[in-house]
Amino acid sequence: MEKYHIGLNESEVELLRRIDLRVAHRDHAEGHAAYKANREPILELLQSLSERRAVPSQRLSYWNDPQYNFGRVKASRKGLFERNGCTGTEIYAHPHFIPYLRYFLFGAELPDDVIEKFEAKVGNPEWVTSSDVVPI
């Protein structure tokens, strides 16, 4: 379901076509080749999306806000990269960033029937908050 994908302009679509969004590869060589090929288009795509403010604030908070990262580690998901010595643009070129890029672009990747049942239950998902979880 593409309903929650962010809108891309033509140049962003072209950049996305150049990015290998897979999280697993057949072997190290294939993964390393993807890493090297992804660097430039990922950085260009993120720059364009940032300039347009195209990524929803909730998705950015999932990446930047420590309160969105539950568990014993009290850092944002971006902060975890930084704690491991990956900083600046290297974070976004890192292979482990790919799932976050997918989330920025496509939202939560759930089966269509799950999304449809959720929407049928809650109506407009924009108005659902954490206090609605228990009643749902």
Interval 81-111: pLDDT, tens: 999 999 999 999 999 999 999 999 999 888 8
CB 66 within 8 A of CB 75: yes
Return the number of other C-beta atoms located less than 10 Å from residue 60's C-beta: 15
What does pTM read for this prediction?
0.87
Q: What percent of the chain has pLDDT over 90?
A: 71
What is the pLDDT at residue 118? 85
CB 19 within 8 A of CB 45: yes
